[in-house]
Amino acid sequence: MTIRKLVALGSAAALTLTLSACGDDSDSASETIVVGSAAFAENEIIAEIYAQALEAEGITVTKKLNIGAREAYLPALENGEIDLIPEYSGNLLGYLDPDATATAPDEIEEALDDALPEKLDLLDFSAAEDKDSLNVTAEFAKKNDLTTIADLADLDGLRLAANPEFSERPYGIPGLEKVYGITGIKFTAISDGGGPATLKALLDGDVDVADIYSTTPSIVDNDLVTLGDPKNLIAAQNVVPLISDEKASDKVEDVLNAVSAALTTDDLLELNGRNQGDEKAAPATLAKDWLKDKGLI
C-alpha cells in the first residue's frame, strides 16, 4: 500500500469520524475507555496509538499499560478493569481454543468468532502481523536461491535455531516436515525469542535458519531475508483491537478501524526499531508520530 493511499484512507476515515462526531450525540461525554496493553514494548506502542486516536476524537481515555501476559489481561478485560487491548489473532485463538488448527488469516478470524467470550468484540483486523518468521542471511538466500520456506526442502542437513517449543509445536519442526517435506533438520534451542543470541548464531553461520518475530528490528538492520510461507504453516498474527462489547460504540469502532486499516507490519518494524535502537523513543511519542504520519490526528 502506498503512502498516498494510506493518507487518503486515513483522511477518509478522519472525515467519517468528524461527521459521525457531529451527528451522533448518543455517546455521552462521560464515556471513558480504559486501554490496556501486554507487557512488551510493541503492544504498548499500539495501545498508545489506540488511546491517542480515541482521545483525538474527544473520547476520554485512561491507560493501564504493561499488564502482563494474556493470562492476566484477558480476565481483566472480561471483568471490566480494562475495556480495550491490542491483540494478535493467532495467539488469541490459541489461548481461547487450544485445539484450534486454523492458520490462515481468514480461517482464524472465523474461528475467533466462535471462540470469543460473549462480552468481547474484535474490530477490524489490520494487515500488521507480529509472528514467528523463518529468516536466513541475504548471502545464504542468494547462494541457495531461497525465497520461501518451500525452497528449504532442497537443502540437506538444515540447521535451525528457535525457541525450544519450536521443536515440538505443529508450526515448528513437525510442520516443516509434514507441510513442506523438510527432513533431517538439526535443531538448536535458544530461549531468547529470536533475540540477540539467536541472531548471533545466524550471523556466525552456526545455524542456517533462525526463527525471529516478524517485527524485530534486527531483521532489517542485518538485511535478513524472511522466507515466505505459502502454505500458511505459521499461524497468522494480525493485530486487532479486542474491546469490551458495551464500549464498542460506532464512534469508537470507526476510530479503531481506521487505525487498523492504516497499520502495517513495516510500520511495526519501524516503530520497534525507533523504540529499541539508539533513539529509545517512548511509546507515547512513537504513537503520536505514527498517527500524524498517517493523517489520523
Partner 1 sequence: MSIVDETWQWFRAPEQWTGASGIPSRLLEHLGYTGLTVAVSALIAIPIGLWVGHTGRLRGLAVVLSGALRALPTLGVLTYVVLLSGLGLTPITVALTVLAIPPLLAGTYAGLEAVDRATIDAARGMGMSEWQVLTKVEIPLALPLIVGGLRSATLQVVATATVAAYVGLGGLGRFIIDGIALRDDPRMVGGSIAVVVLALVLDALFVLLQKAATPSRAPKVPSRP
Residue ranges binding partner 1 (CB under 8 A)? 161, 163-165, 167-169, 188-192, 196-197, 200-201, 204, 206
Q: Please enumerate, as own/partner, the contacts of 270-275 that have beta carbons within 8 Å and a separation of 24 or more.
A: 271/42, 271/45, 272/41, 272/42, 272/45, 272/215, 272/216, 272/217, 273/217, 273/220, 273/221, 275/41, 275/42, 275/45
CB of 204 to partner 1, least distance (A): 5
Q: For residues 81 and 251, what is the distance between their CA atoms, to the nearest angstrom?
A: 21
Q: For residues 161 and 164, what is the distance between their CA atoms, to the nearest angstrom?
A: 9
Q: How many CB atoms lie within 10 A of CB 166?
A: 23
Nearer to partner 1, 97 or 124 (CB): 97
Q: For residues 280 and 137, what is the distance between their CA atoms, to the nearest angstrom?
A: 26
CB of 238 to partner 1, least distance (A): 24
Nearer to partner 1, 59 or 161 (CB): 161
What single-letter DSSP state applies at residue 198?
H
Nearer to partner 1, 10 or 94 (CB): 94
CB of 166 to partner 1, least distance (A): 9
Nearer to partner 1, 38 or 190 (CB): 190
Nearer to partner 1, 62 or 183 (CB): 183
